[in-house]
Structure 1
Amino acid sequence: MTRRTVRIAMNGVTGRMGYRQHLARSILAIREQGGLELGDGTTLWPEPVLVGRREHAVKAIADRHGLEHWTTDLDAVLADPSVEIYFDAQVTAARAAALRKAIAAGKHLYCEKPTAASLQTALELARSAQDAGIKTGVVQDKIFLPGLRKLKRLIDGGFFGPVLSVRGEFGYWVFEGDWQSAQRPSWNYRAEDGGGITIDMFPHWEYVLHELFGRVTSVQALATTHLPRRWDEHGKPFTATADDAAYGIFQLEGGAVAQINSSWAVRVHRDELVEFQVDGVHGSAVAGLRNCRVQHRGTTPKPVWNPDLPATEPFREQWQDVPDNDGFDNGFKAQWELFLRHVALDEPWRWDLLAGARGVQLAELGLRSSAEGRRLDVPELSL
């Protein structure tokens, strides 16, 4: 067995997602399992080089996990020929400039979404990477979640027949930060810092819909700021300039309609923080992060509307759980492993910077739709 080391510059690991999901639960988890077996007698060993602006924070993470390599000098890391991959989980506003540097340095790229704050920049990055001949990947974690993998299994098996509609509910109450601390960084609520739920979540909905049901062909959205006053990490009040809720209607290739609500100002009355209900001619399903339940047309009850009597039907009990039938690893780790195999073995890969640009496009059009109060077509992108 041969061990091949791949050095990965990981920028943004002091943030919540960069640390928990990408470093601890993905790269370090791959190391804990002994590396990534490639199937040809080679084990790929990821060697992270932690990058961040705050020296004490980066060093603390390195010390916690016994990692030797960390720095605050991104340029020096990119100039190091032994570093093959650059990963970016910084705030959105800082991402494009760092990706440009990494492309110029010839590094393979893997990054969080959105890839940029505008479609023009996202496409520029995708074209530059293509011209440089480097491999690129964008995190599209939702499609690797157990609930959506079960949903994909149903779709591939023809369970739904023609799909009619998709209804999505995402969100939870993010505290304002005055009498209870907020669960999200304050920059999420400042448009000038790249915040806003539309730019955060519409890229997710683009790839979920695209992967499972078909390309989004039109969007009609309403983005709003329900809570205009919040408090930052230092207890200082500020005016929220970014949207904290977005309500979208998406027409899909093939005719199905998707409606997805996204909100950081909603209290949860559902089984999971995100749920999708898919209704087809032959059956329906409700999928969340981990679970998926179905109701086939042969077992669909016949409710009758009668507001004068209390409801007696146990509606939730009329659905059947979809079994796991497989082991489901962490979604971020699963996609990391596929990207590493793509880099090492040139295996097929479709979640590149162009796919990331589609997400930015949908967010941009969603915000424009909201501002103009009309439905907008979503042109197909190409390089």
Structure 2
Amino acid sequence: MNGVTGRMGYRQHLVRSLLRLREEGGLDLGDGTTLWPEPVLVGRREHALRALAERHGLEHWSTDLDAVLADPSIEIYFDAQVTSAREEAVKKAIAAGKHVYCEKPTGTTLAGAVELARLADAAGIKHGVVQDKLFLPGLLKLRRLVEGGFFGRILSVRGEFGYWVFEGDWQSAQRPSWNYRAQDGGGIVVDMFPHWEYVLHELFGRVRSVQALTATHIPQRWDEQGKPYDATADDAAYGIFELEGGAIAQINSSWAVRVNRDELVEFQVDGTHGSAVAGLRNCRVQHRSATPKPVWNPDLPATEAFRSQWQEVPDNGEFDNGFKAQWELFLRHVVLDAPWRWDLGAGARGVQLAELGLKSAAEGRRIEVPELSL
């Protein structure tokens, strides 16, 4: 596990996924056997790795990635490093014959991401990319509605994502400073457009075109040492995506917006037969038979409580942590050859959309998104 000293790698992948599996007694493979994950922590900071290992009672950690990859007892390489370091490390893991699972984006360029997918296929290893939002309770409920035909013909998808990330001067920032420096691989497009690609692709259809406008709303921020720096990366992106089948998606992504919605991300889907609003956990619907008939009259105050006219979609089941759920699927894929479709090719599609989104913003035009040939 390379990069677990970072916030996401530590909290979601190590603590809430693999260590949680160990707390539960391992992963039941359904045939009387149990898979027991044994994490090997890898990183550059020896003191941080030692502290994590001691905190969680783990035996294995190293600052020498090459030595770890040379160990035949280690079967899977996981990468949650900063994006700029990912390609080289994943190539090494593929060359060493390890199965690969990694965070997104899988590369700093489309060419690099495609090369990783092709190298992994040629090596005959199992490979995957984290696509955690597909496993959120709210989006699982939304998928249930789509597959059940609730919407009729889907017309549009509108997404709002983001929150105010403090500048770092009078309150510390909630995200690392490299996120706001383009030269270090930062930017909200390269971070979030890969997410929007797989969410749209899996639930509503392949993205056929993109038109984006980006902005750096906060031009100066303060780093972890309290020093000011120029924010050179985009901190907001406003995207329009044409989907296969004719639906139109509009998604706003921003680290310079104050939240006036129920959850940090929400998607509204409108169809001929009904609509839904889904967030991280909740999902509300309004069927056409229960749709009110508002009349525009700016001279009178609104008489309808519009939010109260929507119905909550029940859980109808238990939802596990999304990162852990996908880890379990990947481990089953490696050990049992269970079905798996979120490979490095899917990761490359996310990088492609981010790259074309930035190109669209730079050139001020709509750009077609061709199907990738891997």
Q: Which category describes the TM-score, using the shorter chain as reference length?
A: over 0.9
Is the CA contact (8 Å cut-off) linking 1:174 and 1:265 kept in structure 2?
yes
Counterparts of 2:260 and 2:373, CA distance in 1:
40
- 2:220 matched to 1:206? no
1:245-272 CA distances to partner (integer Å, 9 max, x unpaired)? 0000000000000000000000000000
1:340-351 matches, within 5 Å, as: 340-351=331-342
1:71 aligns with: 62
1:241 to 218, 232, 235: 232
Residue 187 (structure 1) aligned to one of 170, 175, 178: 178
Cα offset, 1:41, TM superposition: 1.3
- Residue equivalent to 2:276: 285
CA shift, 1:311, in A, is 1.0
Tell me if 1:357 matches 2:348.
yes
Provide the C-alpha distance between the structure 2 equivalents of 1:306 and 1:97, rounded to a whole number of angstroms.
Answer: 60
Cα distance per residue 1:28-49 (max 9 Å; x no partner): 0011111111111111100000
- Equivalences for residues 265-344 of structure 1 within 5 A: 265-344=256-335
**Which amino acid in the other structure matches residue 163 of structure 1?**
I
Aligned to 1:3: none
Corresponding residue SS for 2:285: strand
Amino acid at match of 2:28: E
Other-structure match for 1:150: 141
Matched with 1:80 is 71
**TM-superposed deviation, 1:50:** 0.3
Q: What amino acid is the match of 2:114?
A: L
Q: Deviations over 1:162-184 (max 9, x none)?
A: 00000000000000000000000
Correspondences of 1:20-39 after superposition (within 5 Å) = 20-39=11-30
Instruction: Determine which structure has the larger strand proportion and give its number.
Output: 1
Please, which of 351, 370, 373 is the counterpart of residue 379 of structure 1?
Answer: 370
Opposite residue 284 of structure 1, the aligned amino acid is S
Q: 1:163 maps to what in 2?
A: 154
Q: How does 1:1-40 map to 2 (within 5 A)?
A: 10-40=1-31
Is 1:221 the equivalent of 2:221? no
Alpha carbons 1:354, 1:382 under 8 Å: kept = no
Matched, 1:109 2:109: no
Match of 2:45 in 1: 54
Instruction: Give the residue type in structure 1 aligned to 2:334.
Output: V
When the two chains are superposed, the root-mean-square deviation of aligned CA atoms in Å is 0.4
Q: Which secondary structure state, in structure 1, belongs to the residue aligned with residue 149 of structure 2?
A: coil
DSSP-derived class of the 1:46 partner: coil
| Alpha-carbon contact 1:191-1:242 (below 8 Å) kept | yes
CA distance in 1 between counterparts of 2:166 and 2:46 reads 29
Percent identity between matched residues is 83
Which of structure 1's runs of 4+ aligned residues deviate more than 2 A?
none
Structure 1 position 382, deviation (Å): 2.2
The whole-number CA distance in structure 2 between the counterparts of 1:110 and 1:104 is 14
Secondary structure in 1 aligned to 2:75? strand
Match of residue 91, structure 2, among 100, 108, 121: 100
Provide the rounded CA distance (Å) in 2 between the counterparts of 1:282 and 1:376. Answer: 31
Letter in 2 for 1:157: G
Residue identity in the other structure for 2:132: D
Code of the residue aligned with 2:115 in structure 1: it is: E
Aligned residue for 1:83, secondary structure, equals coil
Residue identity in the other structure for 1:315: F
Cα distance, 1:224 vs. partner? 1.1
TM-score normalized with structure 1 length? 0.97
Partner residue of 2:119?
128
Q: Tell me the TM-score normalized by structure 2.
A: 1.00
Secondary structure in 2 aligned to 1:14? Answer: coil
The answer as to whether partners of 1:37 and 1:43 remain within 8 angstroms in 2 is: yes
In the alignment, structure 1 segments of 5+ residues that lack a partner are: 1-9
Q: Write the distance in 1 (CA, Å) between the matches of 2:158 and 2:281.
A: 17
Structure 2 segments unaligned to the other structure (5+ residues)? none
The CA distance in 1 between the partners of 2:283 and 2:340, in whole Å, is 27
Alpha-carbon distance between aligned partners in 1 of 2:300 and 2:22, rounded to the nearest angstrom:
59
- Structure 2 distance, partners of 1:161, 1:344, is 39
DSSP 3-state at the match of 1:142: helix
- Distance in 1 of aligned mates of 2:248 and 2:56: 46
